[in-house]
Amino acid sequence: MRIALVDDDFHLAQIITLWLKARGYAVMHFISGLDFTNALRKDSFDLYILDWVMPDMDGEAVLKWLIEQNDHTTPVIFVTQRDSEEDVARILNLGADDYITKPIREKELLARIAAVTRRSHTPATLQREILEYPPFRVNTTAHIVTKDNETLKLTQKEYELVAFLFKNAGRLLSRGHILSAVWGHGTDFTTRTVDTHISRVRKKLELTPESGWRLSAIYHQGYRLEPVDKDESTPLT
């Protein structure tokens, strides 16, 4: 999982980063809210951890900005020294998924991350062996993808890429996010690897409006797989 940590306390951010990386998470630290929102114009993550009090753009302003950008699917955890009932209620009502007061404890943070990520996925996606994206099916046990009941010839990495794209259908995914999710963070591969595999799966799955799906490259940002109306060739809403 790819996590954005937004906190101007560099020492605390280092500690949190060490905890998260020890559990296998990929972490990118941003020193301010403005740096973070600028990065989101080209990058994507699975979870945001936001400090409330920061220079130039505090956590609450960042959360409001995310809502304005219609980013309702990525979980948000607030970390702050504020602990009044009014503060907690306001930030949760605004859209945060969870709230941790400082000093932060490692086991509690990891448990809350696990909890919010579980809630962010539908039970069907987590429990079902066969995921349906007509005319495609993704078998998460056998690691195969079918189209109109015919099995597609995919390498293991191509399968992992296809499964990740379908599970995140409609989301704009950065090349770095895809690389981390499919090949692992710290890998020696480059984003060029992502582009090559995207081209391959687009051809193998024939991801065109006629199939009901479109895999689009977003300039300087990444890729988005989305369902489209076969007749009108426009994205479904």
pLDDT tens digits, one per residue of 43-67: 999 999 999 999 889 999 999 999 8
127 pLDDT exceeds 60? no
The owner of tokens 């062996």 is 129
Query: What CATH homologous superfamily does 2-119 map to?
Result: Response regulator (3.40.50.2300)
- Domain(s) of CATH 3.40.50.2300: residues in the chain: 2-119
User: Beta strands of 75-121 (E only): which ranges?
Assistant: 76-80, 98-101
More confident residue, 34 or 185: 34
Per-residue pLDDT of 75-111, as tens digits, reads 999 998 888 889 889 999 989 999 999 999 999 999 9
Q: What Å distances lie between residue 203 and 150, 154, 199, CA to CA? A: 15, 11, 6
Global model pTM greater than 0.95: no
Residue 108: the pLDDT is 95
With pLDDT > 90 as the criterion, what percentage of the chain qualifies? 65
Instruction: Output helix, strand, coil percentages for the chain, rounded to the nearest 5.
Output: 40, 25, 35
pLDDT category of residue 191 using cuts at 50, 70 and 90: confident
184 pLDDT exceeds 50? yes
Least confident piece of the model among 62-66, 163-167, 214-218, 226-230: 226-230
124 pLDDT exceeds 50? no
Q: What per-residue string of b and e applies to 27-53 under the rule 16 or more CB within 10 Å gives b?
A: bbbbbbbbbbbebbeebbbbbbbbbbe
- Domain(s) of CATH 1.10.10.10: residues in the chain: 125-227
128 pLDDT exceeds 80? no
As a CATH number, domain 125-227 is 1.10.10.10
Alpha-carbon distance of 32 to 109, in angstroms, equals: 21
Residue 229: the pLDDT is 77
Residue 222: the pLDDT is 93
With pLDDT > 70 as the criterion, what percentage of the chain qualifies? 91
